[in-house]
């Protein structure tokens, strides 16, 4: 067994132990699980929704549901991370759908200028470099389906089978979406990459 495989099996054993402790009603185990995954789930939600408050709300909702339904979690079907991703992505979709309905209703009847929800707020922009802002905007230009796939692949390095599980699509569909997303990002970011290569 290689060192990386040993590390994975150790972390997997630790996770299994935490899940068992959670089910036994151990408060500290819930905190451990939350600390382990809250960061990645938040970033996933924020990248998908592109709205800070919405991402926080979905994060809380995801863990509230996961803690409540932990006894339904089957480790033989999916890893805990994949299961949490499934819950989070599903909630992000619902959130986006509700928001879209509200925005459409308002813009139809009031004929007002709708605020771009993808625009990052000044507080968040402070933490991003100029190049990262370009990437952020390029991600925002992707369709939600392509964005979901690209984020799961690039950010967390999920396999296409895992992406398929999370998004409830065949792995071949995940692969073709990833090709499209990569191509679109490459077109948008070509100038940025070439300029950074020159410097």
Partner 1 sequence: MNETTPGKHVGNLASDYVLGLLGPEQKRTVSRHIRECVNCRQLVSAEKRIGLLVRSTIEATGPGQAQLSSLMPESPASRPGWFSSVTIRQQVAIASIILVTFFAGFNLLSRQEIGGFSAPMSTAYVATASHTHTPTSVTSSPTPILRTSEIAALTISSSSLNQPLITPAPRPVDAR
Where along the sequence are the contacts to partner 1 (CB under 8 A)? Answer: 22, 25-27, 29-31, 34-35, 38-39, 42-43, 46-47, 56, 59-61, 63-64, 67-68, 70, 124, 127-129, 131-132, 135-136, 139, 150-151, 153-155, 159-160, 175, 178-179, 182-183, 185-186, 189, 192-193, 196-197
Minimum separation from the CB atom of position 3 to partner 1 (A):
22
Minimum separation from the CB atom of position 60 to partner 1 (A):
5
DSSP code string of 51-74: -HHHHHHHHHHHHHHHHHTGGG--
Minimum separation from the CB atom of position 113 to partner 1 (A):
26
Minimum separation from the CB atom of position 172 to partner 1 (A):
10
CB 122 within 8 A of CB 75: no
Q: 69 vs 104, which CB is nearer to partner 1?
A: 69
Q: 108 vs 127, which CB is nearer to partner 1?
A: 127
Q: 47 vs 82, which CB is nearer to partner 1?
A: 47
Distances (CA, A) of 93 to 28, 41, 140: 31, 14, 15
Rounded CA-CA distance 147/163 in Å is 12
Rounded CA-CA distance 63/129 in Å is 31
Q: 41 vs 96, which CB is nearer to partner 1?
A: 41
Question: 136: which 2 tokens?
Answer: 């952020």
Minimum separation from the CB atom of position 79 to partner 1 (A):
18
Q: 50 vs 96, which CB is nearer to partner 1?
A: 50
Question: Which DSSP letter does residue 70 get?
Answer: G
**Residue 83 buriedness (CB in 10 A; 0-12 / 13-18 / 19+):** buried
Residue 142: count of CB within 10 angstroms of its CB: 19
């Amino acid at each position: 067994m290689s060192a990386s495989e040993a590390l994975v099996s150790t972390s997997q054993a630790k996770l299994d132990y935490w899940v068992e402790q959670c089910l036994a009603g151990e408060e500290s185990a819930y905190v451990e699980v939350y600390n382990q995954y809250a960061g990645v789930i938040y970033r996933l939600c924020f990248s998908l929704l592109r709205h800070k408050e919405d991402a926080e709300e979905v994060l809380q909702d995801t863990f509230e549901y996961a803690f409540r339904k932990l006894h339904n979690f089957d480790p033989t079907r999916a890893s805990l991370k994949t299961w949490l991703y499934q819950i989070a992505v599903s909630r992000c979709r619902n959130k986006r759908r509700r928001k879209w309905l509200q925005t459409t209703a308002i813009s139809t009847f009031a004929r007002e200028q709708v605020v771009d929800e993808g625009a990052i707020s000044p507080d968040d922009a402070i933490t991003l470099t100029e190049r990262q802002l370009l990437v952020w905007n390029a991600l925002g230009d992707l369709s939600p389906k392509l964005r979901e796939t690209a984020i799961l692949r690039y950010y967390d390095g999920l396999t296409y089978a895992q992406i398929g599980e999370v998004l409830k699509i065949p792995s071949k569909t995940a692969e073709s979406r990833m090709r499209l997303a990569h191509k679109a990002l490459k077109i948008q970011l070509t100038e940025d990459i070439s300029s950074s290569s020159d410097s």
